[in-house]
Chains A and B, each alone.
Chain A
Amino acid sequence: MTVWQIVLLASIAVLAIKLVGYVIPPSVVSRPRPARIANLLTVALLSALIVVQTLGSGQGITVDARVPALIVAAGLFALRTPFIIVVAAAAGTAALVRALF
């Protein structure tokens, strides 16, 4: 697949899912179980993506400057720091660790 195909297919899929919510009758999906699974799905995917982004390098695990960066980010989110500042601080931490070691 080319990058364009991936970008367009993924975009159409996400857009179609949004439209589904306007087309189907609410009674079908507003039952507790599908709603619960959909909400937890978001949590599981985000959590797995954090692990992949922090430890993954191709098909392998590497512990490097990304780990202290994530720890700094977690600390700042716990202090209710705005999103964009946390992301910049995480990048800065990784850059600093790489410059020092």
Chain B
Amino acid sequence: MSERRAAVRASFAVGLAVSAYGISFGALAVTSGLDVWQACVMSLLMFSGGSQFAVIGILASGGTAAGGAAIASGALLGTRNALYALRVAPIVGGRWPKRMLAAHWTIDESTAVATAQPSPEAQRTGFWWTGAIVYVGWNLTTLIGALIGDLLGDVSRYGLDAAAAAAFLGLLWPRLTQLQPVVVAVGAAVVAAVLIPVLPPGIPVLLAALVAVVVGLFNWFAPKSVPGSTEVPS
């Protein structure tokens, strides 16, 4: 019982902190060319922070002409959720309607809180509480952020365009714990910088993703730990 209480506490700590990013997403979405409704629909339906920031980031630089690249980047960033699903599906249990909702709530935070709990009951509690708190919080703060962004108008005066890069850095930072991801991050940054002037907006990001495929395929700069351990960064 106290394990479950601890799981609920962890859910609130993580959920409330994460919900705050919704403000920056909502504000940036509106300044990237979405209206308030589109920003809210994205948070309701997509519900995956990294993918959402990717889509609006590419729309901000390339407009709707970069739509294909925006969708592809969002989807590629969402592939890790499928891996999370493999880990939490046995924890969640239940029948199909419940599993569909669980799938929608399978994100970085719910997976991280669930897998950090000691017992199966506490894991299930952690997953559902974190999923629910983040879902409600993220959508509320998206709306608030979008309304604020709508009021602000010209955003470069407030530095909101720079906030997007800082938001991505915040998502990247906890993943740079070993040599392999650091090498991939540096390599992808170089590829993107070189390609920006020669290719349409959005395409450099997709080609930079090839760095991950090549390094991951041959397992260059591999960590010395046990192979096959799929860690879940928070």
Contact = CB atoms under 8 A, between A and B. Distances in A.
Interface in B185-219: 185-189, 191-193, 196-197, 199-201, 204-205, 208-213, 215-217, 219
Main secondary structure of the interface of B (DSSP, over half): helix
Interface in A40-63: 40-61
Interface residues of B, number: 106
Contacts of B7: none
Nearest to A5: B67
B193 A87 contact: no
Contacts of A51: 189, 192-193, 196, 208
A33 B81 contact: no
Contact of B209 (A2, A18, A44): A44
3 closest A-B pairs by beta carbon, nearest first, are: A21-B85, A94-B159, A90-B166
28 contacts: A1-B67, A1-B68, A6-B59, A6-B70, A8-B41, A10-B42, A14-B46, A14-B75, A18-B48, A20-B85, A22-B103, A30-B230, A39-B216, A39-B230, A40-B180, A40-B213, A41-B212, A44-B185, A44-B210, A46-B169, A53-B165, A55-B193, A58-B61, A61-B197, A83-B18, A90-B162, A91-B159, A91-B163
